[in-house]
Homo-oligomer: A and B are copies of this chain.
């Protein structure tokens, strides 16, 4: 049975020593989150995730959800009760708006909480995760009345939410969508159509489910310009806030999936369901996409979360399982064999995972901090940079963290040998659950295209130049620090490779868009490597300072060694990505379609 320990020390190190969030104590939300409160909140959260959610992870995988003939859906044993505790603990409110009952903590604290939940039980975490998406959409685009009607209950968690985009014939290309909305005399709409792959689409844990649904108003233009966003509650909410009639939306089927069995992935059939327009007519896509940055950061974090929990269990097994002897002589001479953690190739897999997890977490947190600054900073320049960074980094976090997370989870499964392949040890589940993160909320290929096609060139490349300038400043400030030398050099090299990739794109991507498309995956990886190399430089600097302040704490040496592994063994991957990128579209597009 796999276990999970929340990486509280990592959170503290990142928040206090690396990102120094106490600097922002004068800003809203941060003002209410002094470090000792943050520690306390995360410790409480850790207890809940470790004690309540983690033990249900395998249960959810084995049992899955069950659809009854009437379309109602039962969640796996224990989920309903755990969700009740989740609500009672006030967790959905953590970083929500105090105007609607939220606790108003910075989003970066919510991010740490989300990672813990996803590591403990990703399928469970998706229920409140999707609610948060619905909350964001209504909070940003809803009328005051809509906010008053839906937000308080979403914030308490009494109601959950969903996002309805995909239809059988369209996922990525939402311009094709067919679900229709017919205006009614009372200002509402009747929604009809079929949505698929709706996570948390129907379940037995909450009193109501607030569906956010993309649909086309009768007579609206075709393509993406005629799509509107609607609120479609499972139970219609009466004026006094009480629940009224059951709406015309029913779960027609639960999908059989590779993983996340504990989450109900529904086909939802809308049949003259009552819906309320949210945001402007025909502007549904842009309303939906404003939620996407947050959702995509969350998915990147899910990739990391599976890598983290797989790593933790890989470590336990590698210390426990004895098999063979160390290549440099027995390390457990009294035992029948050495624990397999003595073997360099097992170490390689663990260090790959550990150095990825800690670098990736730093990257997600650093980006989320910019998200908070975008919301609360009084300084326009800070907000501009924060907005630039959120836009630029989001596709990188979504793709790089999920792809690498899947691979490191696979590596940690590998450490178990045959025992990793049987379901008993839980490693298969981490890999199977991680697999979806590369697909949903915009498949990774779409993220890469978003990066090179939209984000890179926005405002004349301002976001990227700003990132380069920040790295240059770091290099300049630290180039004479002998202890940071390895990190500064690796960063310089990695930044140079990213720059070369960007330059190649500028010179070749405009003349032939296929060059941009063919380069996008490798450019995104170049970016991910450079970003994590920078994160390791930041962490190394903080660790060196920590070591000076408290030399007896082995944590800082571990941190430095982990970073050195990353720059020795991961940063060099950038060279291969750059070489591939520069080979251009020709090798990729040479074959006519019929030659496949």
Contact = CB atoms under 8 A, between A and B. Distances in A.
Nearest to A337: B173
20 contacts: A171-B323, A176-B337, A257-B423, A258-B422, A318-B596, A342-B593, A344-B517, A344-B589, A345-B449, A348-B518, A350-B596, A351-B587, A413-B435, A414-B438, A554-B595, A558-B595, A561-B595, A575-B575, A575-B576, A575-B579
Contacts of A436: 421
Kindly report how many copies of this chain are found in the complex they form together. 2
A89 interface: no
A114 B239 CA distance: 68
Nearest to A524: B345
Interface stretch (A121-129, A379-387, A565-573): A565-573
A237 interface: no
Nearest to A440: B418
Contact of A565 (B343, B572, B590): B590
Interface of A: 166, 170-173, 175-176, 196-197, 255-259, 265, 315, 318-319, 322-324, 327-328, 336-337, 339, 341-351, 354, 406, 410, 413-414, 417-418, 420-424, 428, 431-432, 435-436, 438-440, 443-445, 448-449, 512-514, 516-518, 520-521, 554, 557-558, 561-562, 564-565, 568-569, 572-573, 575-576, 579-580, 583, 585, 587-591, 593, 595-596
Contacts of A348: 518, 521, 588
Contacts of A327: 513-514, 516-517
A243 to B, nearest CB: 31
Contacts of A579: 572, 575
B354 A596 contact: yes
Contacts of A573: 576
A445 B341 contact: no
A417 B172 contact: yes
Given A323-B171, A590-B564, A514 B344 contact: yes
A166 to B, nearest CB: 6
Contact of A328 (B318, B513, B568): B513
Q: Which 5 A-B pairs have the closest CB atoms?
A: A344-B517, A327-B513, A572-B579, A258-B428, A568-B583
Given A344-B585, A345-B449, A347-B589, 7 more contacts: A255-B424, A347-B518, A410-B435, A414-B438, A421-B440, A558-B591, A569-B587
B418 A593 contact: no
A173 to B, nearest CB: 4
Given A554-B595, A569-B583, A575-B576, A421 B171 contact: no
Given A327-B513, A575-B576, A587-B564, A445 B343 contact: yes
A569 B580 contact: yes
A557 B594 CA distance: 13
Given A256-B422, A564-B587, A521 B345 contact: yes
A417 B431 contact: no
A428 B420 CA distance: 18
A297 B591 CA distance: 31
Given A327-B513, A588-B351, A256 B424 contact: yes
A420 B345 CA distance: 32
A224 to B, nearest CB: 11
Nearest to A338: B173
Most chain B Cβ neighbours within 10 Å, of A350, A354, A591: A591
B569 A341 contact: no
A327 B436 CA distance: 26
Contacts of A564: 587, 590
A556 B530 CA distance: 40
B257 A422 contact: yes
Contacts of A590: 561, 564-565
B176 A336 contact: yes
A59 to B, nearest CB: 14
Contacts of A575: 572, 575-576, 579
Contacts of A173: 322-324, 337
B565 A587 contact: yes
A561 B438 CA distance: 29
Given A345-B448, A514-B328, A587-B564, A414 B432 contact: no
